[in-house]
Amino acid sequence: MPESNSGPAGAGLGLRRALMGPLLSADRGAVDFLEVAPENWIHVGGRYGRQFRELVERCPLVFHGLSLDIGGPDPLDKDLLHAVRALMDELGVSLYSEHLSWCAAEGHLYDLLPIPFTEEAVRHVADRVQQVQDIIGAPLALENASYYAQAHADMSEADFINAVVEASGCDLLLDVNNIYVNSINHGYEASAFLRALPLERVRYIHVAGHYDEAPDLKVDTHGANVIDPVWNLLAEAYSLLGPVPTLLERDFNLPPLAELLQEVAQIRQLQAAYGADSVAELAHG
């Protein structure tokens, strides 16, 4: 069994089955860590299971779930959580993240839906986060989610995220593409939103591409290259936080691995530009 790691470092890539062969053939160190949805790998054996475990031996791994339903009305799926914990223990995974959203109501809805920004929802989510953390034995990291229809709101989205983090003790998975997408779709300033988040709780960052449905409607698809405004927002995050571990998400329209590694290299270049010396200069400049 791999030894447990303390979490991601450097520049990572979301692992998709189509990438397994190319990654096994690539140089060690092509990426610094990998991310998978644990639901896709529980009890998987055969050729895919062997390849998966070979990759895990070569590269640190984090879990980013799809079906926890942290904000939903149904009871938490504790069988899933115990299976996730077992896989974390087997593979030496120390970090499990999920979406700050809901996705089930008497059965899975196969979509990630926005949670109302209310005090009641904060208490509901915080209670469920604490149940999750008791089972997995580690802080859960929640990702700021993209959304397209505004749920009921008694507070701003940033205030809601801050309240959930404070009440639950969870960490934050910072998705800069989701900030950009939401800023266009809901008419707010991306930089101000970024700076309003509980950045001291960021465990790692997601960066991804999206689809331009219209000038005022962006869809978070993870199916295209990262665009310059999102790279710029990532650079701003580094200016505030230093070179936080960052993962490139790409879920479909997968190009050859070499093209994905060019974007991983761009993450590394930005991280180098905002390394420890650069952050010290910014702090004292």
Specify whether the CB–CB gap between 70 and 142 falls below 8 A: yes
Angstrom distance (rounded) from CA 218 to CA 187: 12
CATH topology for the 11-284 domain: TIM Barrel (3.20.20)
Region of residue 139 (left: phi > 0; alpha: psi -120 to 50; beta: else) = beta
Q: Model confidence over 149-196: pLDDT tens digits?
A: 777 889 999 999 999 999 999 999 999 999 999 999 889 999 999 999
Specify whether the CB–CB gap between 230 and 180 falls below 8 A: yes
Q: Model confidence over 94-113: pLDDT tens digits?
A: 999 999 986 644 455 455 67
Q: Which among 157, 152, 228, 226 has a CA at the least distance from the CA of 194? A: 157
- The label of the residue with tokens 């070179």 reads 243
* Bridge partners, residue 171, by sequence: 141
Specify whether the CB–CB gap between 122 and 70 falls below 8 A: no
Q: Model pTM?
A: 0.91
Walk along the chain (285 residues) and give the pLDDT tens digit of each residue. 344 456 799 999 999 999 999 999 999 999 999 999 999 999 998 989 999 999 999 999 999 998 888 888 889 999 999 999 999 999 999 999 999 986 644 455 455 678 899 999 999 999 999 999 999 999 999 999 988 777 788 999 999 999 999 999 999 999 999 999 999 988 999 999 999 999 999 999 999 987 677 677 666 776 789 999 999 999 999 999 999 999 999 988 899 999 999 999 999 999 999 985 444 344 334
Q: CA distances (Å), 98 to each of 22, 71, 192, in order? A: 27, 11, 24
Handedness of CA 221, 213, 267, 198 (dihedral sign): negative
With H, G, I as helix, E, B as strand and everything else as coil, classify residue 205.
strand
Q: Model confidence over 167-180: pLDDT tens digits?
A: 999 999 999 999 99
Residues in contact with 276: Cβ distance below 8 Å, sequence separation at least 6, in sequence order: 242
Angstrom distance (rounded) from CA 69 to CA 109: 10
Provide the angle, in degrees to the nearest 10, between the axes of the packed helices 176-186 and 228-241: 120
